[in-house]
Chains A and B, each alone.
Chain A
């Protein structure tokens, strides 16, 4: 690495380049070396961080471990939104609605807020859909602010801790950053009022502004009945090596290419469109779920956001997920050993994907399939109605229970204020 620039320079006649040029190149090379060594160190940490074994933590019963108090908000925050647009129940952000319904009838719910460990605000910020069904996040910060103002003025529990024992479900693209474009989301950052609260979100990427330490990552909503209706007998042989259906280029929003999925999906297409082992296309087949059950590996590359419902589908259908999203934080990462179940491929290694996948030893592949076949794994990824033991709702409660007991320092003294109520873009301060 280091030798290249200097040798390159050495071959050129020195009088055409000033001396500064040499210093410049050397410094840049040293910095690059430092940068890459830092990245390697981080990588080693990554492989050790995920631990926990499927089967015991996943089957914990949260009942008795925590108590949740559900605030009574006026229906303009929840029911009216759903009435206006019932499509909110079927899109991949429906977890916020189903979580509310689950908590209302769950044994962990308590009607006495003084004995509650956690407080839940039933608000559906993602339920504002365009005609085509995509959620608009523009009003969500204002909605959230107005809800928090309501609960802080009607109940004393918010001001007691400034939200540190409250949790919110924010399943949108970049969580509580409330924007679908990553750059804008990073600019906005997490809503200032939610800085102390625990966020339950689908977005998870290490060292990203929109992922707070202590957030709980959940899987995106995938309709359980629809998937279960497409099961095929398990003795049908898996004959597809790698399977993927979806966009490679987003021509509407990214005509040049290179922005969408950080170029990773396009790289998959360009490198493997001629490869018969890779069954990849942009089709929308009616046999999508059945095909996944006939495949050994299912690609789960990032899109505009690193998470995707493909992960849930792959786990439910027993197809080993190949996760192509650098630094992604997967759902329930402290309970599910994703490293042992899925295959992680760095975005820069996408052109060598076939080499990587074929060089995995067969015993490892069989072991991954066995782990995926574990029914508790599949249950943990789903949001069934009515709730069943071990499902995603229970995993969220388990995650909340693991954060108990609350540290004494979250309780603020009288008059002490940590949050800045006027922070954030001016548009957020308008009442909703």
Chain B
């Protein structure tokens, strides 16, 4: 029975669907049947003609309007026949209703509601994303991700306490901006202790405020000295000041030393979360002087030395923990400074390789509880920070420990280099605008009645542009476009005139003419 009814509906679909449901036909009077058939035929022909004119199947639309209910999804206004009908196969919806009606008449509830055969492709009138729903979807995504994080993410993440000694100089903005950006990317809570030599200034304050992090800005009255050695001594003092702040404020987290010119990888911050008390990581040492020839010479010298003496010291530019085969700490690899002996920079602006200290502070991290007065489970191999005597010469954080063997090597025992040490500074006499804002505007001396740019361009450039030194007076250099259209006839004349009247300026291509006499000549 099922088969026959479905089969019948199947046949119905094969024939023209413009007939009314077969079951209903039986209810119609027999005599009127031929009339109806003729009528439908005429209507069909009429609709065919109209379709030819309009370009789509108009007949089905009529049928649809007569017999449709809520089965279509036209939720907006009335159906617009000018919509491309190839998308909206409306006729098949009418067809779908027939076998359904058939089914309920022919038998009881056993009929499948789902019919085999051709179905319409339902498309809503505006198939584009609804902005309200997009927002809701994003809300759902965020909530799901939050849930994921709480279930699968890091269980407990400790706060990162960053200690940075700095002072105002030309390269400070460059270095500090790098640190700011790195710290802004850290996915954990950050407290940034910035210790400044020469007192806490607004310039530094502005840079660190842009990070949006919690900062503690400490000023030291001493000015940063001019030699690398003295500078590193002062930096040690500044870092210890910061550690005192940690002790006083009882900050709880992991202390790391980020010198302002260093560069950190994001994995570094993830790795230091594994520290229990005191850890060390491998630091890439980039002893660079900015002078390429020097570097080549030092490299050659290093190779010579290795050939002669066959030292076992690693020539890798890395400072980090050294482990034995069972991944236990046995010592530290230190940057080999012998090749640079005698040739390293002494003053901050020397053109020579800047060498690191024996052990750079940035390669060490410690749990802030080591510095506290009272902390549970504080190990015995740590000296009490409060009793630290600086006059005894604190060179590296290992001075805080009684037993350096208890240090934890991080980054798969130092095999991963997670940050880089670099020291680059400008010349001693380099000037830079405070806060890197050019204020007041540079001086322009212009003739009162004339624009700074000449109406007729002067002679074409004869001297090269790179011979143009930046003069002390900060004149603005403007390149007007009219300069390109120089007339050749006038050239020699002007040149000779210029030679007569004034000493030739060094940069000929682009300069603001400051004397009014020239303008007069040209006219």
Interface positions of A (Cβ within 8 A of B): 1, 4-5, 8, 18, 20, 23-25, 27-29, 31-32, 34-36, 38-39, 42, 182-183, 186-187, 189, 205-209, 233-235, 237-239, 241, 256-259, 262-264, 266-267, 270-277, 296, 326-327, 347-348, 350-352, 354-355, 357-360, 362, 365-366, 369
Contacts and interface: CB of A to CB of B under 8 A. Distances in A.
Interface string B56-69: 00000000011111
A355 B127 CA distance: 12
Contacts of B116: 182-183, 186
B104 interface: yes
Residue of B35, B66, B143 contacting most chain A CB atoms (<10 Å): B66
B129 A275 contact: yes
Contact of B73 (A36, A186, A352, A354): A352
Interface of B: 2-3, 6-7, 10, 20-21, 24, 27-29, 32, 35-36, 39, 65-71, 73, 87, 89, 92, 97, 100-101, 103-105, 109-114, 116-124, 127-130, 133-134, 136-137, 139-141, 143-145, 147-149, 151-153
A39 B113 contact: yes
Contacts of B134: 276-277
Nearest to A273: B127
A186 B6 contact: yes
Given A235-B149, A296-B144, A271 B127 contact: yes
Contacts of B148: 234-235, 237-238
Contacts of B24: 24, 27-28, 31
A263 B113 contact: no
A326 to B, nearest CB: 5
A5 B66 CA distance: 6
B406 to A, nearest CB: 32
B149 A348 contact: no
6 contacts: A34-B104, A209-B2, A238-B145, A258-B89, A263-B119, A351-B124
B127 A274 contact: yes
A18 B104 contact: no
Q: Pick from A354, A355, A358, A369 the residue with the most CB of B within 10 Å.
A: A358
Nearest to B153: A235
B110 A262 contact: no
Given A28-B21, A32-B69, 11 more contacts: A23-B28, A32-B100, A187-B3, A239-B145, A259-B119, A263-B122, A270-B127, A326-B114, A352-B73, A358-B136, A365-B140
B141 A25 contact: no
B119 A366 contact: no
B29 A271 contact: no
Contacts of A369: 144, 147
B144 A274 contact: no
B187 to A, nearest CB: 12
Nearest to A21: B36
Nearest to B72: A348
B112 A241 contact: no
Contacts of B130: 354-355
Contacts of A28: 20-21, 24, 67, 101
Nearest to B128: A274
A359 B136 contact: yes
A218 B21 CA distance: 39
Given A18-B35, A272-B127, A274-B127, A207 B113 contact: yes
A396 to B, nearest CB: 26
Top-4 shortest CB links A-B = A235-B152, A351-B124, A263-B119, A237-B145
A209 B32 contact: no
Contacts of A362: 139-140, 143-144
A262 B119 contact: yes
Given A18-B36, A235-B148, A327-B114, A23 B27 contact: yes
A257 B112 contact: no
Contact of A366 (B127, B137, B147): B147
Given A5-B66, A28-B21, A241 B140 contact: yes
Contact of B121 (A29, A270, A274, A366): A270
A348 B122 contact: yes
Contact of B92 (A35, A207, A237, A258): A258
Contacts of B35: 18
B28 A267 contact: no
A32 B97 contact: yes
A362 B136 CA distance: 10
Nearest to A242: B137
B69 A36 contact: yes
Contact of A1 (B70, B100, B103): B70
B140 A258 contact: no
B105 to A, nearest CB: 7
Nearest to A257: B121
A358 B133 CA distance: 6
A20 B118 contact: no
A274 B129 contact: yes
A362 B127 CA distance: 25
A276 B20 contact: no
Contacts of A34: 104
Contacts of B103: 35
Nearest to B71: A348
A296 B134 CA distance: 14
Contact of A35 (B104, B114, B117, B128): B104
Contacts of A351: 73, 122-124, 127
Contacts of A18: 32, 35-36, 39
Nearest to B68: A4
A330 B24 CA distance: 37
A360 B137 CA distance: 10
A237 B138 CA distance: 13
B123 A267 contact: yes
A207 B29 contact: no
Contacts of A272: 127
A336 to B, nearest CB: 22
Contacts of B153: 235
Contacts of A241: 137, 140-141
A35 B100 contact: yes
Nearest to B149: A235
Contacts of A209: 2-3
A205 B101 contact: no
